[in-house]
Amino acid sequence: MRIPVKKGVQAFLLACCVLGVNVLYVFLQQEIKQHSSAAEFFQQDGGKQSQEDVPKLGRSLFERSRRSMLNESYNLKENVTDQGEGVNGKNKAFLSHKADSKSSKTVSQVFQDPSKKSSAFHHTNNNNNNNKILKNNAQFTNGYNHNNAVYKNEVKLSEVFVSVKTTGKFHASRIPILLETWVVMGRDAVHFFTDVEDEELKSKILPGRLINTNCSARHTRAALCCKMSLEFDMFLASKRKWFCHVDDDTYLNIPALLRLLKQYNSTGDWYLGKPSLNHPLEIKDIEYPKQKTAFWFATGAGFCVSRGLALKMMPYAGGGRLRSVCEKVRLPDDCSIGFIIYYYMKKELTVVPGFHSHLEGLWLIKPRDLENHITFSYGQSGHATNVVRVGGFSQGSDPTRFRSIHCHLYPNLPQCANIEKDFR
């Protein structure tokens, strides 16, 4: 029996509609999974992932921490409510000061607000306006203020994971000054991430604190993201409360760092640092290429991420996934961290002016205020040097000024007894 042409066409169109609905349903399921929280991610797939997506060391770290992360994620989901997560009644009073806190600001409060998608993340490049805003917020220079803290709770050094990114060619030129100065004060927290085996350097630090990532030694996007990916995974496996990253040309003021972190609840969503640009970084939107995405990120001068936020980042940065994001957005490690936090987590960088990189004028830092700053760096362009101008050791014996900074912060150390104490 022949089927009429009209009915045949109707049957064909009906089949196409059913197929289209099924495809749309599968697509929506994938989208929901992609934007789920860390706890939902583990609940749905048990933390499993393709073995090909995970670097060798990252895979073992990810599997070792998976079960504990599952329980921790559920606990956070029950107790966390946005920025003031997990705070009991007696601590809620501190959260009431969040809008008035003088310790730091979200980047949209300090600079122009790029968060309105309806205006395609329109932002201004008016340097005078940005400088005026920063000038009006000069009271934030210290990086913290105990009288207006968001959250006060003692932070122990053992609760902080400090990662120092380095490479084999800088082991002899950059690492010794760090070991001689601030690393002594932060020994229990510091981990070095490099790309070669170095038995001599390994003998000078705590066991297990020099990690050969087996990443490339080249200064490329892929190599940088490879190291950062391992840093992030090792932090998650450590179960510490804060992840703080610096480069190997950075002096980290440990007491100032702990004073900063005590203001914030580690179960909250905190991304602390300072941008090196006076405008947000703008890239093509990964989902809508005809649109722009603008976001702020902290540089190698240092940044800290709370454990609460890091757990939520796991579906996008954990187990080696950070490397995939880096390739997708074609940005280096610190930019990609900022992108994940803004684009997927919908959180902003909280600006802490106490972080300093070689990209700014370090000579503007007043020696008498050194104890209030968190990181320092150094740089050189031709014959011009960019360093903190502080009295102490001679320029020849202390070109980075790290030894002099260290003696200013710890004047009673034996090596600081006979130096010039000109700290005006």
pLDDT digit string (tens) for the chain, length 424 residues: 555 777 777 777 777 776 776 766 666 555 545 544 444 443 444 444 433 333 445 444 445 444 445 455 444 444 433 433 333 333 333 333 333 334 455 554 544 333 333 333 333 333 443 443 333 333 333 333 333 345 668 899 999 999 999 999 999 999 999 999 999 999 999 999 999 999 999 999 999 999 999 999 999 999 999 999 999 999 999 999 999 999 999 999 999 999 999 999 999 999 999 998 877 888 888 888 888 888 888 987 899 999 999 999 999 999 999 999 999 999 999 999 999 999 999 999 999 999 999 989 999 999 999 999 999 999 988 788 999 999 999 989 999 999 999 999 999 999 998 776 544 4
pLDDT of residue 14: 75
pLDDT of residue 46: 40
DSSP label at 320? G
pLDDT of residue 24: 62
CA-to-CA separations, 155 to 149, 212, 232, 235, in angstroms, rounded: 14, 29, 20, 16
Give the separation between CA 101 and CA 105, rounded to whole angstroms.
8
Give the separation between CA 76 and CA 306, rounded to whole angstroms.
12
pLDDT of residue 36: 46
Pairing of strands 190-194, 160-165: parallel
| Topology of domain 51-86+97-110+140-351, CATH | Spore Coat Polysaccharide Biosynthesis Protein SpsA; Chain A (3.90.550)
Burial of 125 from C-beta contacts in 10 A (0-12 / 13-18 / 19+): exposed
pLDDT, tens digit, 9 for 90 and up, residues 278-336:
778 888 888 888 888 888 889 878 999 999 999 999 999 999 999 999 999 999 999 99
pLDDT of residue 292: 86
Question: Which residues 6+ apart lie within 8 Å of 140 measured at CB?
Answer: 102, 103, 104, 105, 110, 351, 352, 353
Nearest Cα to 292, choosing from 244, 342, 248, 245?
342
pLDDT of residue 40: 44
Residue with tokens 């797939």: 45
Please identify which of the residues 233, 248, 334, 398 carries the catalytic annotation.
334
pLDDT of residue 25: 62
Domain range summary for the chain, segments of one domain joined by +: 51-86+97-110+140-351, 362-416
334 is catalytic: yes
Looking at residue 45, its amino acid is: D
pLDDT of residue 31: 52
Check: CB of residue 296 under 8 Å from CB of residue 338.
yes
Give the separation between CA 269 and CA 351, rounded to whole angstroms.
14
